[in-house]
Chains A and B, each alone.
Chain A
């Protein structure tokens, strides 16, 4: 998404107000109804009226303006010179005031910008704290599921203590064993394949939970975490299917279709294909559903 797209989206939130605002008729009509229903007393200095919205609107306007009687016209003509001087004086005052307000406003804006930056920074920190807590919870869950580590011998125990069997190979995750590359020995503490698998499964579960709760954006963030932390080939079908569902929830039909296409290329008989039947990815551009058996 480009910066222009972001600015355009932000502008939408402002433009929407021109369509959402009430008209003057809406305002006056509802005020008239309120006056009748609540029997509101007449406003100060205005004639009470209950004959309709137009009269109520007139009552409101009377609060703000006073009619100039015809006799004032002659008086205005007689004092035109003074009025011109007063008009010039007002413009000079307006100019000076505008300059002062501009200076003060510039200072205020910069202070406001600083406050907004501080607020955004606080929000970023809060989001980062939440990410850390999420990762910590995931690590704790993986530790619970992982095979028990050998118990180190306590001081004083003999060397005849039977050693624990080495950690069994990752037979519970044959797909991971085929797809994940073996970790080189010289790399400092690479994650075990079964640990990565458990992390991936946990993240996918959380993605589905967020989708069920209606937070597609949080689901997309978790998918990004998944892409960052586990190899691309791990649980590829599941990830493509989930990616397609998340894209549909975000309104990105094209991305959803691309993920579905890749899934079908990877495994035409994938069981996840039926999960996507009827989704936005399963529809052609004219909105009709695709036949799962038809070629692309």
Chain B
């Protein structure tokens, strides 16, 4: 996602108070989000997005670092025209694409696989999550890159159609059609998997 960079920014840029507005001056720009608050709120979103997009676990830390370094670098130029999650998803997409291209060049790309995670406090929920993960990732492997991105953005992360369109570089009607097709296709595919078990 192309965001003009005006240079290095501090952790929290100065924000004008309400007194300036009360005096009749032009409205100050809305204060930029604090980086730490942004991280605390949206780190899980970027982590999940990268996993859904197929970044392998050994590379996940590096990939998410690249995302948040880019966020820190571009935060001062974030103009607030797009939703923050749209912006973050766009950055995660670019990082994943760059990573995929470099992996292809090194010919070390491995197929997506289910990895074992430490069990959480609820083993039953963890098991359901693992099964859902396996099914969803297998379905994602049947999709091409564009549909996979739309599936992740819209059906897994719940971005609105306009946000998905902005993040994936599509127009909104195409997103509507893709989402509808993907939802029905996933339901049919999952039902078929269930019927064959």
Interfacial chain B residues near A40, Cβ < 8 Å: 11, 35-36
Interfacial chain A residues near B72, Cβ < 8 Å: 34, 38
Q: Are A6 and B44 within 8 A (Cβ)?
A: no
Contact A30:B147 (CB < 8 A) given known A21-B44, A123-B176, A249-B142: no
| Least Cβ–Cβ distance between A208 and chain B, in angstroms | 16
Interfacial chain B residues near A27, Cβ < 8 Å: 43-44
A13 close to B (CB within 8 Å): yes
Q: Are A16 and B176 within 8 A (Cβ)?
A: no
Number of interface residues of A (CB under 8 A): 51
Q: Mark A30-47, 1 if CB is under 8 A from B, else 0.
A: 110110011011010000
B185 close to A (CB within 8 Å): yes
**Interface SS of chain A:** helix
Residues A206-231 near B (CB distance < 8 A): 213-218
A20 close to B (CB within 8 Å): yes
Residues A3-19 near B (CB distance < 8 A): 5-6, 8-19
Q: Bound complex: CA of A29 vs CA of B182, how far in Å?
A: 35
CB < 8 Å neighbour of B65 from A20, A30, A130, A213: A30
Residues B162-197 near A (CB distance < 8 A): 173, 176-177, 179-182, 184-196
Interfacial chain B residues near A20, Cβ < 8 Å: 47-48, 51-52, 129, 133
A287 close to B (CB within 8 Å): no
CB < 8 Å neighbour of A127 from B64, B177, B182, B187: B177
Q: Bound complex: CA of A200 vs CA of B132, how far in Å?
A: 39
Give me 26 A-to-B residue pairs in the complex whose CB atoms sit less than 8 angstroms apart, sorted by A's number. A5-B191, A11-B132, A13-B186, A15-B129, A16-B129, A18-B125, A19-B117, A19-B132, A19-B133, A22-B44, A23-B118, A26-B47, A31-B39, A34-B39, A123-B177, A126-B173, A126-B177, A214-B142, A214-B143, A217-B181, A217-B184, A218-B181, A250-B192, A251-B139, A251-B192, A254-B195
Q: Which residues of A contact B (CB under 8 A)?
A: 1-2, 5-6, 8-23, 26-27, 29-31, 33-34, 37-38, 40-41, 43, 60, 122-123, 126-127, 130, 213-218, 249-255
| Apart from the given pairs A21-B48, A40-B35, 4 other A-B contacts in the complex at a CB distance below 8 Å | A19-B133, A215-B147, A252-B192, A254-B195
